[in-house]
Amino acid sequence: MAEIVNLRQARKRKARAADQEAAAENRARFGRTGAQKVRDQAERGRLDRTVDGARLPSGPGSDDETPRSD
């Protein structure tokens, strides 16, 4: 004899499982501590300063400004 299944409960069970899976994915994607965020921001700032310091002037006699075309 077949087991009787309440379809409303089965739908809710399936929805809960999908929500838990989405929550686990979000925790992996966005779940960083405050210290990790600060460290990444400091690293990004350091890299930006390094790149800006290594930038070459855009032309002869220029002071790192792009020439204007009036």
Residue 69 has pLDDT above 90, yes or no: no
* Nearest CA among 55, 47, 50 for reference residue 63: 55
pLDDT for the residue numbered 28: 87
Residues 40-59: pLDDT tens digits? Answer: 999 999 999 998 888 877 76
The gap from C-alpha 20 to its chain's centroid, in whole angstroms, comes to: 21
Q: What is the pLDDT of residue 55?
A: 82
Provide the percentage of residues in the chain whose pLDDT is more than 90.
54
Distances (CA, A) of 37 to 24, 27, 30, 42: 20, 15, 10, 9
In angstroms, what CA-CA distances link 17 with 9, 14, 41? 12, 5, 35
CB within 8 Å of 67: residues ≥ 6 apart: 58, 59
